[in-house]
Structure 1
Amino acid sequence: MTNPPSERTLIYAEDLRPEDVCGLEMFLNVQLGRVCEEVGETGETSFAMRSLLRLVCDSAGLLYTLLAVERPETWQQAAIVRERQRLRSTAHEFNHCEGYDHDRWWNQVRHFDGSDETAEQDRIRRFTDVGPYTETID
């Protein structure tokens, strides 16, 4: 059995493509479908699995829609990062089902773009230099 090619490196929300979402969504649907078959069609666990499947589809659908926006606003960029992380963290648990596969793992998208990352690094540096609280003596 050959391993699929490694995922390309993603750093920013603007690097994310529909194909990246599709690969993650397909992996989750296969894993959740397998669990649903084992659980059966009745009971609370079955209800929870169907709900999780809908959430994965909704999250992926939102990502597809946001990725189609030509110039996403800040809230849309934030939603891209959040939804990607939501799918990624859901997939993380299933990546261990049949042994951890480094080639199957998906990169975390942490920033909207390069300027967002720079602003975050500057904020961290200021916080480190000044500290969380500055006392003023009156």
Structure 2
Amino acid sequence: MDANTGQKHGAPQPSGPTLTYAEEITPEDVRSLEAFLNAQWDRVYEEAGETGETAFAMRSMLRLISDSAGFLLALVTVECPDAWQRAAIVREWQRLRSTAHEFNHCDGYDHGRWWHQVQHFDAHAEAAEEDRLRQAR
């Protein structure tokens, strides 16, 4: 175990910074996550082929990935997002992230990849949620 990183010796290092808040998501992060999903989709589609319901499901999945990534990309470029936009950023990131997470076991994929779960847009939103929960107790 490495004392500095807490990882096993020889374990792959994360490919990028770990995200804590959705406000840290950049357009490049979205494009990279979409590219990873598309590469995985291509790989699975090659194996499944163009047969009946499987092909329909695969094309539908591709559309959902593309739509979600496009919406997320538009949201992360908003200068000062409103509350609904901040919530949508968290939701769309989680949707794409959880889809990518299912492929973590494939082809030696790096589990340390930076598209981890984010639950809040920023530190202020997280603190407000924690205060709300404390007061509710």
TM-score (norm 1): 0.83
Match of 2:61 in 1: 52
Question: Alpha-carbon deviation of 1:84?
Answer: 0.2
Greater per-residue helix proportion: 1
Stretch moving more, 97-106 or 38-47? 97-106
C-alpha change, 1:28 and 1:123, in structure 2 (3 Å) is same
Letter in 1 for 2:93: R
TM-score (norm 2): 0.84
**Percentage of matched positions with identical amino acids:** 66
Query: Pairwise mapping of residues 109-124 of structure 1 onto structure 2 (< 5 A)?
Result: 109-124=118-133
- Cα displacement string for residues 51-77 of structure 1 (whole angstroms, at most 9, x for unaligned residues): 101100100000111111111100000
Match of 2:98 in 1: 89
Letter in 1 for 2:111: H
- Report the Cα distance in structure 2 between the residues aligned to 1:8 and 1:25, rounded to whole angstroms: 17
Match of 1:12 in 2: 21
- Report the Cα distance in structure 2 between the residues aligned to 1:5 and 1:14, rounded to whole angstroms: 20
Gap regions ≥5 residues in structure 2: 1-11
Does the Cα contact within 8 Å between 2:15 and 2:112 map onto a contact in 1?
Answer: yes
C-alpha change, 1:4 and 1:65, in structure 2 (3 Å) is farther
Letter in 2 for 1:68: T
Question: Alpha-carbon deviation of 1:11?
Answer: 1.5
Question: Alpha-carbon deviation of 1:28?
Answer: 0.5
Match of 1:42 in 2: 51
4+ runs of 1 displaced by more than 4 Å?
none
Aligned residue for 1:29, secondary structure, equals helix
Question: Alpha-carbon deviation of 1:14?
Answer: 1.3
Aligned residue for 1:98, secondary structure, equals coil
- Report the Cα distance in structure 1 between the residues aligned to 2:17 and 2:60, rounded to whole angstroms: 30
1:26 equivalent in alignment to 2:46: no
Question: Alpha-carbon deviation of 1:22?
Answer: 1.2
| Equivalent residue pairs, number | 126
